[in-house]
Amino acid sequence: TAVANALLRPGLMIVSEVLVAGALLALLFAAQPAMTGVAIAVFAVVGFTFHALVRGPIVRMGSSYRFHNGLMLKWITQSVGAIKLVKILHRERYFSEAVARHSEPYARTAAVAQFLQVLPRLVIEVVAVLAMLGMVLIVVWGVEDRNAIIPLLGLFGAAAFRIMPSASRILIAVQQFSFATPALKAIRDDLALVPASAAADAVAAPRLAAPLPFAREIRFEGVRFRYRAATDDALRGVDL
């Protein structure tokens, strides 16, 4: 799931939007190379600057999101798995507070991440409107035959309505890459811990495991367990 959300969907979005925007830009470049080149340069500078400004915060939010999401699911799983003991020992408040410690920063991080995913569209629209306004001013002040330039402005305006969504989706996909970087690094680190021989065995055909060698029984004596941050043992002196 992490790989699909972090790589496949954003990658496919970038490829499809680059193809659409590239075809429209090729049409504009054939009609007016100079003006199209200036527009591409402006959007490229704005896009790279915006990404450079938000990449650091997005990566940190991705790390915080992964950390709190993992611990929140851990506490929920433990509380549900041991629901009988939780009710008997009256530990409901302990588990609810543990989940709340991570659910609140998790929700804040998700909200800010959603806001940053909307922000590229607003930035692209503002830049596009300013660019169109600059083109109109150039035409009004520097071209004598203004009637001849009106169809060209109409072509640029119609193309902008399709290029703007493509540019914003590309920036959103790049942000999704940055947001998922901590999760991808964690997957890479986990895979690096697996020896090459173990990975080869996992790909090979399954083999039957050898039976456990014990004569009569498996015995546990004096088992104890304490939850993290707890002051008392939940289990103590358990013999099985």
148: confidence class by pLDDT, cuts 50, 70, 90:
low
Query: Residue 79 has which token pair?
Result: 């509380």
Count the Cβ atoms, other than its own, within 10 Å of residue 125: 15
45: confidence class by pLDDT, cuts 50, 70, 90:
confident
pLDDT tens-digit readout, 157-194: 788 888 888 888 888 888 888 888 887 787 777 777 76
Instruction: Confirm if 181 and 56 have CB atoms less than 8 A apart.
Output: no
CA dihedral (186, 188, 189, 192) in degrees, to 10, reads 160
3-class secondary structure, 237: strand
pLDDT tens-digit readout, 106-117: 888 888 888 888
Mean pLDDT (the chain, rounded)? 80
Nearest to 10 by CA among 134, 128, 196, 179: 179
146: confidence class by pLDDT, cuts 50, 70, 90:
low
- Least confident interval from 183-187, 230-234, 236-240: 183-187
Query: Residue 197 has which token pair?
Result: 């021989």
227: left (phi over 0), alpha (psi -120 to 50) or beta: beta
